[in-house]
Structure 1
Amino acid sequence: MSERVGAGKSGRKKVRDGIEGAKVVELRPKQGAASDKAEQDSEDRRFIHRDNGIWRRKGDNPPTFICGPVDVLAESRDEEGRNWGLLLAWDDRDGHRHEEAFPRALFAGDGNEIRSRLADGGLTLGAGTSAKAAFLEWLASLASEQRARSVTRIGWHAFGGQSAFVLPDETIGEAGERVVLQTTEREASLFGVSGTAEDWRREIGLMCAKNSRLVFAASCAFAAPLLGLLGEEGGGISFKGDSRVGKSTALRVAASVCGGTPQNGAGGYIRSWRSTSNGIESTALASCDALLPLDEMGQLDPREAGEIAYLLSNGQGKARSSRTGGARSVARFRILFLSTGELGLADLNREAGKATKAGQEVRFADLPADAGRGMGLFEYLHHEDTPEAFARYLRTATGQIYGAPLRIFLRRLADVMANEGEDELRGRLRDRIADLADDWLKDYPAASGQVRSVAARFAMVAVGGELATSYGLTGWADDTPSYMAGECFHAWLAERGTVGRREEEQAVQQLRDFIARNGEARFERWVDAVTAAEAQSEIPDAPPGERFRTQNRAGWKRWVREDDGKSAWRYLLTSEAMSEALSGLNQRSAKAVLVERGFLLPGKDGKIAAPISPPGHKKVRAYEVMAAILGSDEGDR
């Protein structure tokens, strides 16, 4: 009996000796070995690191499996010494290497988020309560002498006077140290690459030539990274037109410059308008300094259309409070978006019962998708016989080739910025944009600032296409991007109908619509006895008698004799009615425009509203509107 007990004790001692003698491996970057002193100090004898994974010691009991092998490449932090995290690396079950930066803020909770992301990357994790607790304990113990710079969004970032473009899996440009994208919530990267830049130039770029909308769409993708360099505000263009004219094809061509996914090709890079303003904000943050393609604007909630137009162009998300009531950091981004839809922004606002503000229209330009050649969006079909066949060809090509042109473009642009200097490059590009916009508007010297702003955006798109062409990416002639962008700008201008300020047209349109819509229902007739008697005897088209009572009066319609001897209605609106008619506009400016255009007659005392004495009412001030605003000199009879 005593021998068996002694043998048991001897066996347990051998197990303990074996566990204590197991090799403890420091989790450190593979590049650059640490000193012996650093390795010795970093040892944590609570954990065992083996070739098949990481284990937690449990005294005399068998160790607990935590997870498969993981390397710590660096500790990360941002420019302000915050957003600390760990850059981890591991191999999945197929032997593919994964690297991802995790904020240390994720370690403070139950660890489910980081466990989920590691498991999604193919890392084997221990199961059970004790394994999860040991996993959190192990995370808290990790450290590294290596450092990396963390950022929370993609796009351009400045590091020590130099700029680098951060993509989810690559940093382009010189940053002085490794830069990693580190976010609390991971979004699948859509910047996939399939094929080469030469493949794209041959199979897609050359097929865009002689098609203004396709060249313009591809140029938008190259122009998006220029926003930050030029200090321009965000905004976008939407291809507006009937179904099946080729709008989605143009969007796929633009997306193929930037990225895609193996499942959907370049279509995987396209996002949907079917989202709330909060959802669009996170989408924009994941597309900063890169083109954001959005398909089918009709899926957008009309009540949020105007708000989202401002959100995307202003580059700033909503202000929100933290769990403690303090202010959270506001999301900031720079976005150039390209959209499609059968409806435009004005149509959605009208559906929601809202007026479209001029600022929204400038930031969100509706470009007619139909090129006017009887082939929908296309003007030249190259080797195909029908627009449908050409669209199928481009859909197939963009399903197989995508992503490479943007990366080559960014590398070339980063080299130019480093060698030529950002200020020099910025000045040269701004001069080119100004020259193009001035050339397009040379026949419109009175063009408003709103029109010139849109012209500058279209010119920036042209410059993006010119740069890509000079880098050998497109296969186009040097002047193709600027010529095609000019064609698109003039199509937008023709659709807009005026080079003046949109508020001027809106003032006339809203007042016209208000009077035409309400008519007899809200304008009480005012016909003087003498005028009526004269009308019956002298004028064959005298006004008919009253047929029903006016409800919710907006004013009066008075039958008056004009200076030319003809009689017509004059519309006299109360202050409340005029405010209602011009709702959403600057009232003072709108009234001044109406006076200038001759539709609103000011009073003899110099005030816009003149005193009147309607039959049966006390003297009131009202706005006197000519019947010509309805589009007929004879008025509404």
Structure 2
Amino acid sequence: MSSGEKTQTGSQSGRSDIRKGIENAKVFQLPATGRNDAKQQEVSEDRRFIYRDDGIWRRNGDGAPYFICGPVEVLGESRDEAGQNWGLLLAWHDRDGHRHEEAFARALFAGDGNEIRSRLADGGLTLGAGPKAKAAFLEWLASLQSSQRARSVTKIGWHRFGGGDVFVLPDETLGETSERVVLQTLDREASLFGVSGSVEDWKLQIGALCMKNSRLIFAASCAFAAPLLGLLGEEGGGISFKGSSRLGKSTALRVAASVCGGTPQNGAGGYIRSWRSTSNGIESTALASCDVLLPLDEIGQLDPREAGEIAYLLSNGQGKARASRTGGARTVARFRILFLSTGELGLADLNREAGKATKAGQEVRFADLPADAGHGRGLFEDVHDHDTPDAFARHLRVVTGQYYGAPLRAFLLRLTDELRMKGNDVIQDRLRGRMAALTAQWLQSYPEASGQVRSVAARFAMVAAGGELATEYGLTGWDNDTPGVMAEICFAAWLAERGTVGRREDEQAVAQVRDFIAKNGEARFERWVDPVQGDAAQSEESQPPGERFRTQNRAGWKRWMKGEEGKHEWRYFLTAEGMSEALSGLNRRNATQTLIETGYLMPGKNKNSTVISPPGHRNIRAYEVKASILGTEEGDR
């Protein structure tokens, strides 16, 4: 069977362009059932209905028959692997003669039928008017049966049937399987996977301009890498181009989108989604983008209060658990997403705006990549004979509006052919080996790199592997090692922006305690000054600075005492409650151990805390923190 099942037909010229240069490409389509042939009569033997060239009619006893709808072909019945989600695969021609094919869930027939009538009418099918015609239309649908079978799925992306892998797009199924596979959903969304131009057009007009530009090649490689998530069993996640406006971030997003698809109205820009949504809306968008790149523009439009939750939702690939109308549990939405984002703000900035701490896991899943390439041209290193970066960006906007969608389909067609011929294990081992080699190469100077850094390196390496595979397939026009070199440049920029190869929690522990002490000072740390006797009482150094605040809601004490070098300084003693507040959002045990290892926290004999007796109190256990955590020898003097 085949590698390219069409489920909705418009202009066919784009399809042939997609397969140009792909050897041994085959297109499969189950034979359509004609309106007047014997097989069509087998589909519905109900004598209540009359099939004519001008449509389907309902007999009316002794009266004249009345019109139900235009000609419709029943290509088969569909169901999923569990024997659920039954539906009908219908075909019809619109008023311009274009053929449409769509699978409709039988659940749509249970109500008044308005949804299925609306979708058929939207596809150009003529429907009978009036209550009698509507009721007869539902009668006709309920009577339909077919011996032909198709396999239904409810989301795009990879699906495995009978030992074979297929990739389902809204209008095409790529790969080999014993049965036709169709996308069948209760709610239809407009397909954004349009095609304009050929692979050669994309290579010459867009791929060639990506050369010498690390961020553009990395963005395009993300589009080729997204389908590899499911094959490799990698976790979802994403990368966000972060930087000030007018750097070219949206241009890079359009380049990535042009690999995947677009719309006639907006070109590749029609494939780009907006961050302006709730977590429920983003979940729906992610479900419609399973196993393909999800480009999201301007994260600043996202509600800061939901930023962290959405970062986890997209990367974990699992929607919210919800109750059904009867109180039972609904099926949880599951998806695999690689997303590419833009914004002037990063995830940490949004969390800070919402008054929340950024967890290390969020940073790993949502990597902020500096958009500025550092060559004085914003996101670009080379503008290819254009006078200014702005002129180059405008040109890319024009060409991405003209050529889009062909590279992804050609990539999936070639990949599914390789999976069929060589087997999943061979392809997976090869890709994993390349990712491991790239990760080891990038981190060879950082043997102490934490697991968090290695996770992000692995994602960047997967992006590189996707770009290299597309280049090997002849889809980009780049040199074979170009995606890997450019991904390494981008990873180095991310690592420099992060500032450490260690665990983010370690840095956060120090930063949060530092900020807590600096922010609160004497407002929450009660003074503890020991009486000074003899000549030392006359020493100016031995006297603490004057009091500036009255302590309320005490978090601990600040004691004026000699430090390790003999100089007087404040020493901070945080109560257990005060330390918990300072380390909010972090594991307190791990964080205090980090503070001890960095030398900022002085442990007691057997515990991380020590016993103190401040004025008016006896034997209180507290955490002793040096003033050097504030970054100056004098503390907050």
Q: TM-score range by the shorter chain?
A: over 0.9
CA drift at 1:294: 0.3
AA partner of residue 632 (structure 1): T
Bigger shift: residues 201-210 or 413-422: 413-422
Using the alignment, how far apart are the partners of 2:224 and 2:43 within structure 1? 50
Q: How big is the alpha-carbon RMSD for the aligned residues of Structure 1 and Structure 2?
A: 1.7
Give 1 or 2 for the bigger CA radius of gyration. Answer: 1
Name the CA shift for 1:491/1:347 in 2 (closer, same or farther; >3 Å): same
CA contact (8 A) 1:223 1:464 kept: yes
CA contact (8 A) 2:277 2:302 kept: yes
Which contiguous aligned blocks of 4+ residues in structure 1 show a shift greater than 3 angstroms?
31-42, 533-536, 539-542
CA drift at 1:90: 0.8
Which 5+ residue runs of structure 2 have no aligned equivalent? 1-29
CA contact (8 A) 1:29 1:72 kept: no
Which string of whole-angstrom CA distances, capped at 9 and with x for unpartnered residues, describes residues 392-432 of structure 1? Answer: 11000000000000011111111111111110110011011
CA drift at 1:566: 0.4
AA partner of residue 232 (structure 1): E
AA partner of residue 390 (structure 1): F
Mapping of 1:570-585 within 5 angstroms?
570-585=571-586
AA partner of residue 630 (structure 2): L
How many corresponding residue pairs?
608
Within the candidate set 228, 238, 241, 2:240 is matched to 238
Which string of whole-angstrom CA distances, capped at 9 and with x for unpartnered residues, describes residues 543-590 of structure 1? Answer: 233344211111111100123220000111111110000000011000
AA partner of residue 380 (structure 1): D
CA contact (8 A) 1:29 1:74 kept: no
Match of 1:587 in 2: 588
Q: Look up the SS of the partner of 1:400 in the other structure.
A: coil
CA contact (8 A) 1:526 1:557 kept: yes
Bigger shift: residues 192-201 or 63-72: 63-72
Name the CA shift for 1:35/1:53 in 2 (closer, same or farther; >3 Å): closer
CA drift at 1:176: 1.5
Which string of whole-angstrom CA distances, capped at 9 and with x for unpartnered residues, describes residues 195-217 of structure 1? Answer: 00000000000100000000000
Using the alignment, how far apart are the partners of 1:202 and 1:518 within structure 2? 60
Q: Look up the SS of the partner of 1:529 in the other structure.
A: coil
State whether structure 2 residue 553 is matched by structure 1 residue 552. yes
Mapping of 1:21-36 within 5 angstroms?
30-31=32-33
Match of 1:103 in 2: 105
Match of 2:598 in 1: 597
CA contact (8 A) 2:275 2:301 kept: yes
Mapping of 1:374-453 within 5 angstroms?
374-453=376-455
Bigger shift: residues 454-463 or 53-62: 53-62
State whether structure 2 residue 226 is matched by structure 1 residue 209. no
AA partner of residue 132 (structure 2): S
Match of 2:7 in 1: none
CA drift at 1:100: 0.5
Match of 1:62 in 2: 64
Match of 1:362 in 2: 364
Q: Look up the SS of the partner of 2:32 in the other structure.
A: coil
Name the CA shift for 1:289/1:82 in 2 (closer, same or farther; >3 Å): same
Q: Look up the SS of the partner of 2:209 in the other structure.
A: helix
Using the alignment, how far apart are the partners of 1:98 and 1:511 within structure 2? 63
CA contact (8 A) 1:535 1:542 kept: no
Bigger shift: residues 39-48 or 319-328: 39-48
Match of 1:9 in 2: none
CA contact (8 A) 1:310 1:360 kept: yes
Name the CA shift for 1:543/1:325 in 2 (closer, same or farther; >3 Å): same
Using the alignment, how far apart are the partners of 2:175 and 2:271 within structure 1? 23
Name the CA shift for 1:41/1:423 in 2 (closer, same or farther; >3 Å): closer
Using the alignment, how far apart are the partners of 1:328 and 1:80 within structure 2? 16
Match of 1:631 in 2: 631
Match of 2:10 in 1: none
Within the candidate set 294, 297, 300, 1:298 is matched to 300
CA contact (8 A) 2:522 2:548 kept: no
Name the CA shift for 1:41/1:537 in 2 (closer, same or farther; >3 Å): closer
Mapping of 1:35-114 within 5 angstroms?
39=41, 42-114=44-116
Using the alignment, how far apart are the partners of 1:534 and 1:467 within structure 2? 79
Mapping of 1:3-22 within 5 angstroms?
none
Which string of whole-angstrom CA distances, capped at 9 and with x for unpartnered residues, describes residues 75-130 of structure 1? Answer: 00111111110001111111111110000011111111111111111111122222
Using the alignment, how far apart are the partners of 1:592 and 1:348 within structure 2? 28
Q: Look up the SS of the partner of 2:401 in the other structure.
A: helix
CA contact (8 A) 2:610 2:623 kept: yes
Bigger shift: residues 591-600 or 41-50: 41-50
Name the CA shift for 1:609/1:99 in 2 (closer, same or farther; >3 Å): same
Q: Look up the SS of the partner of 1:343 in the other structure.
A: coil
AA partner of residue 622 (structure 1): A
Which string of whole-angstrom CA distances, capped at 9 and with x for unpartnered residues, describes residues 55-94 of structure 1? Answer: 2222223333221111111100111111110001111111
Which string of whole-angstrom CA distances, capped at 9 and with x for unpartnered residues, describes residues 522-562 of structure 1? Answer: 1111111117x766522348323334421111111110012
AA partner of residue 172 (structure 2): E
CA contact (8 A) 1:150 1:181 kept: yes
